[in-house]
Amino acid sequence: QVQLVESGGGLVQAGGSLGLSCTASGRSFSTYTMVWFRQAPGKEREFIAALNWSGLSTAYADSVKGRFTISRDNARKTVYLQMNSLKPEDTAVYYCAAKTGMSHYVEVMDGNAGMDYWGKGTLVTVSS
């Protein structure tokens, strides 16, 4: 069983930056597609960014493109989400998720996309 643990959430002022990490257990992290989602209070879960197993293919939601960067370190079994120029509307619980299978290409997903493993989330609050 794979466990994903997010960290790095917190309170930040609008315009600031925050970096999230998601560390996985298990042996096969390097083969997973890794995805960040978020869910704001009272709203549906939203796709944020995806990264294929090699790190060579990425996809971003329009709402974060140019501000957020997804990356991974397979040796550390960790995926990162660097968030810059944060806005109050970025306030949400951020979840990382993993999809098995060595996809060579990733694309924008639906917030209800089927994933194989999920973390429990980390809260990001952006104050105005």
Q: What is the pLDDT of residue 27?
A: 85
Q: Choose among 113, 106, 111: nearest CA to 54.
A: 106
Lowest-confidence pick of 25-34, 37-46, 80-89: 25-34
Q: How far is CA 73 from CA 15, 32, 63, in A?
A: 27, 12, 25
Q: Choose among 79, 67, 63: nearest CA to 122.
A: 79
What's the CA gap between 79 and 98, in Å, rounded?
10
Task: State pLDDT tens for residues 63-103.
Answer: 999 999 999 999 999 999 999 999 999 999 999 999 998 88
